[in-house]
Amino acid sequence: MIGELDSRPEGTEENSSATRSDGEFSASEKKCIASAMNILVYASNTEKRLREKLLRKGYSQSDVDTAVDYCKGKGYVNDSSQLIYTAQVMASSKLYGKRRLVVELYKKGFRREDIAALDYDELDIDFPANCAALLCRAAKLRTPQEKREFVPDRKIMGAMVRYGYSVSEVRDAVRFLHECEDEE
């Protein structure tokens, strides 16, 4: 199974365990790599999460290190691209603000340094529009008239802050609602 996965050109692997041939792995390392691949088939995992799952299954630390290095070397575990993808999904589907994104990404096992280095412009997400959509959903604003006359109360402001938006972002979203509805 492991030998079939060696489809990358020579010299593109990052770690020594990714360059080893199938026969150079011990039986326990092969079993751990197969288990890691099985875990990754069902869901993409961060390096940290993959390590936790393999250790929980009872593999030794050295076997887990070899398996994770192998998966990283083959490109099956790429925390930076997964971080961007996960942030985009959470921001667009759950309408999370920047602060809530940081908390949720940390919960998912991404490193603090990677999260701190995240460029929100790279996500291509319109956070004020997301906040406005969330305001409409939270306050049950249906008609243009309701949206034009909407003024958030403390309860709505608290909900928006819990979703990760700052007070100024909520004010911008309310302005966005008023301006968009004036144009219709």
CA distance 29 to 56: 15
Which residue has better confidence, 99 or 15?
A: 99
Among 75-84, 135-144, 158-167, name the most confident range.
158-167
Query: Is 33 part of a structural domain of the chain?
Result: yes
Per-residue pLDDT tens for 136-158? 998 898 888 888 888 989 999 99
In a domain, 121, yes or no: no
Is residue 40 assigned to a domain?
Answer: yes
Say whether both 43 and 10 belong to one domain: yes
Domain for residue 177, yes or no? Answer: yes
In terms of domains, do 137 and 111 share one? no
From the list 134, 108, 105, the residue with the least C-alpha distance to 120 is 105
Which pLDDT score, from 0 to 100, does residue 28 have? 92
Same domain, 18 and 66: yes
Co-location of 70 and 84 in the same domain: no
Nearest CA to 134 among 87, 88, 173? 173
What residue numbers bound the domain in which 164 lies?
Answer: 127-183
Cα gap 168→51, rounded to integer Å: 40
Q: Are 69 and 84 contained in the same domain?
A: no
Asked if residue 176 lies in contact with residue 129, where contact means CB atoms within 8 angstroms, the answer is yes
Domains: count for the chain: 3
pTM of the predicted structure, to 2 decimals: 0.70
Q: Per the domain annotation, does 122 fall within a domain?
A: no
